[in-house]
Amino acid sequence: MYCICCGKNIVKPGTFIKNKWKSKTAPYTEEDFLWSKDEIEYTTDGIIQIIHAGYGSNHDTSSFIIAICDDCITKNLEDGTILYFGNQLVPSIDSDRIEKSKQTYRRRKNLDDALDI
């Protein structure tokens, strides 16, 4: 799938997931898998996620499949475009990373406000 930042087709659903499906009705292609109702549990080279637009958006009540590659995640975390929220497996280790993300966001926001961007 194409990364929403760099536009490269490098983020893929994990191959082991496709191999676990044995029934004739289960998705076998990347396209079938992306539009299936099954949760994407594993990806290579990035994140694939379904996002939902809330009320007030021009796209409210719509859902979208997006992907972002690992390189763009790293780059966008550094400048505050993407914010770190936490670790699903070990939430207790995240306080430093969360605080760093908050600081990066505040710094960028304050600079933008000062420059009236």
Give yes or no: residues 48 and 93 share one domain.
Answer: no
Give yes or no: residues 13 and 62 share one domain.
Answer: yes
Range(s) of the domain holding residue 95: 83-117
Q: Give the pLDDT means over successive 10-residue stretches in the chain (117 positions).
A: 96 63 58 76 87 93 95 96 91 88 94 86
Residue 32: the pLDDT is 77
Buried/exposed code over 60-98 (b: 16+ C-beta within 10 A; e: otherwise): eeeeeeebbbeebbeeebeebebebeeeeeeeeeeeeee
Give yes or no: residues 51 and 103 share one domain.
Answer: no
- Quote the CA–CA distance of 117 and 98 in Å, as a whole number: 25
The answer to whether 72 and 5 are in contact (CB under 8 A) is yes
Residue 37: the pLDDT is 75
Give yes or no: residues 105 and 67 share one domain.
Answer: no
Report pLDDT digits (tens) over 56-78: 999 999 999 999 999 999 999 99
Give yes or no: residues 113 and 73 share one domain.
Answer: no
Give yes or no: residues 3 and 59 share one domain.
Answer: yes
Give yes or no: residues 57 and 89 share one domain.
Answer: no
Amino acid at 35: W
Phi, psi (rounded to 5 degrees) for 21: -80, 125
Give yes or no: residues 68 and 114 share one domain.
Answer: no
Cβ neighbours of residue 63 under 8 Å, at least 6 residues apart? 50, 51, 52, 53
**Residue 111 DSSP code:** H
Give yes or no: residues 11 and 52 share one domain.
Answer: yes
Give yes or no: residues 66 and 106 share one domain.
Answer: no
Instruction: Count structural domains, the chain.
Output: 2
Residue 2: the pLDDT is 96
Residue 73: the pLDDT is 97
Give yes or no: residues 31 and 75 share one domain.
Answer: yes
Give yes or no: residues 52 and 76 share one domain.
Answer: yes
